[in-house]
Structure 1
Amino acid sequence: MLELQTLVIYGLALAIPAVYIAYRQLYGSSQAPTLTTQDTAPKPQKSIMQSTRDDLAPPKDDPFTLEQLKAYDGSTPGKPIYVAIKGTIFDVSHKADVYGAGRSYNIFAGKDGSKGLGMSSLDPENAVPDYTGLDEKDRKVLDDWHGFFSKRYNIVGKVVDPEAAPASSL
């Protein structure tokens, strides 16, 4: 019986690190990649984020008011879903599983939620266009989101409400 317990303990001692390594290789890590004795350079981490697209249409600058933008919130089947960041409107329809009605990021659909994106907040009161109160770190996050969207979603227009665009973005 003692031998069986010893084997189980040794088995777990070997299995736990193997599972951890497999998990890190599959899902990546927020830490810097590590090198093995055979590697001379870090291996790129796999990402569950969608990759950049090279088939995006040329950007459009069709004008939308915030009121008009509300109609593209994912609640009408077959109608596009739009998300605006810093006044730029992106068509996120191909990611309805993320931005569609009842989905995790629907809070930003049909509106300019720049402040909430900069704050990394899903609180409805923060999903507003005015991001003038964000600190430097949150503005960097917001800029990163704008860059992320610009590489993955078609730009279909601009928000034209003067009060929606902070002076710093003009």
Structure 2
Amino acid sequence: MGTATQIICALLLLGLAYYLPTHYIQDSKDGVHKKDKVEDGTSAGKADESLSFGPSRLRDGDNVRLLTKEELARHGPNGPDKPILLAVMGRVFDVEKGRDNYYGPNGGYNFFSGVDGTRAFVTGEFNEKGLIDDIRDLKPAEINELQVWIDFYDKEYTFYGKVIGAFYDKDGRPTEELTYFEEMKEKYVLFKKNEKAEQNQYPGCNSKWSEAEGGEVYCSSKSGGIHRDWVGFPRRLFSSVSREWRCSCVHPDNLGNPNLKEYPNCDPNSIRCQTKPPGKL
């Protein structure tokens, strides 16, 4: 082989090595080159263009991809880009392996593909109104359930990056919404720990309904399944972490609890309160 031929072959090998699916991305801020291994099945040239010039790139030394919502949408069930992606709580997962059964064009869960549909994971509202990243009015139990979904995708699929939106800003930093999520989870865990003790201190009420007499809640020394030497008065006991309440039989010593509310039109010293008039469910 001649010298010229050897030089040409060497140049071709160098060019091929350069375009293998491992790219070096120049950060526009500090000029530092960062390495991002592309594992999405796209061509090397296309992936390099997306990561170099769009928001879907590494930032501030964090080895995590950042995508805009528009970029995420391109990885939907019928999107032009692969792999199929979905996001929950701003965390993006590669769900390509579930294309045929779940997330592809014919999959039963393809409405999650290409979006951060966090809210719908716990509300079951699988439409444009429900497939959003707004969690502010979710119940604490629903907030906690979102963590279960995050754990599921962490275990079953590949973490791909973060989407810029409610939970991560343009630099990939956590937002106030993510802080709120973490705080609500902690409150829920504490609430569940205290729930059993609260059930003993504030037993549930008995209840009955008939068309002739209407609805009624009442207390006894065994109501709520708690056997005790006192009866108590029916009160609405509101949760400290949500807007929910339940009927509770309250000992006279605990009537000052600020989370307690009297039943409307009921004598506060009565052990029975009507909740619905006769003839109404």
Compute the TM-score of the two structures, normalised by the length of structure 1. 0.58
**Structure 2 unmatched ranges of 5 or more:** 1-62, 169-174, 180-281
Flag the structure with higher strand content: 2
Match of 1:79 in 2: 82
2:95 corresponds to which of 92, 96, 106: 92
Q: Distance in 1 between matches of 2:114 and 2:129?
A: 15
Change in CA separation of 1:144 and 1:65 when aligned onto 2, cut-off 3 Å: same
Q: 2:159 aligns with which of 139, 155, 170?
A: 155
Q: For 1:72, what is the secondary structure of its paired residue?
A: coil
Query: Whole-Å Cα distance in 1 between the matches of residues 157 and 136 of structure 2?
Result: 25
The alignment's C-alpha RMSD in Å is 2.0
> How far does residue 164 in structure 1 lie from its aligned partner after superposition?
5.5
Q: Note if 1:168 corresponds to 2:181.
A: no
Give the drift of 1:168: 3.3
**Which ranges of structure 1 fall in alignment gaps of 5 or more residues?**
1-59
Q: Which residue matches 1:126?
A: 130
Give the direction of change, closer, same or farther, for the CA distance of 1:78–1:110 in structure 2 (3 Å limit).
closer
Alignment of 1:8-157 (within 5 A): 61-76=64-79, 79-96=82-99, 97-157=101-161
Shift of 1:64: 0.4
Give aligned pairs, total: 110
C-alpha distance in 2 between matches for 1:62 and 1:134: 28
Choose between structure 1 and 2: higher helix proportion: 1
CA distance in 1, matches of 2:91, 2:122: 15
Native 8 Å contact 2:73 2:79 kept in 1: no
Structure 1 runs (4+) greater than 3 angstroms displaced = 163-166
Taking structure 2 as the reference length, what is the TM-score of the superposition?
Answer: 0.36
Q: CA deviation at 1:61?
A: 1.5
Distance 1:99 1:63, change over 3 A: same
Shift of 1:73: 0.2
Q: Distance in 2 between matches of 1:73 and 1:90?
A: 12
Asked if 2 retains the 8 angstrom alpha-carbon contact of 1:74 and 1:80, the reply is: no
Q: Looking at both structures, which has the greater relative contact order when contacts are Cα pairs under 8 Å and sequence separation is at least 6?
A: 1
CA drift of 1:77 comes to 7.1
Cα deviation, 1:41-78, whole Å, max 9, x if unaligned, reads xxxxxxxxxxxxxxxxxxx6200011110000021477
Partner of 2:197 in structure 1?
none
Identity of aligned residues (%): 27
Deviation at 1:121, TM superposition (A): 3.1
Residue 167 of structure 1 deviates from its aligned partner by 2.0
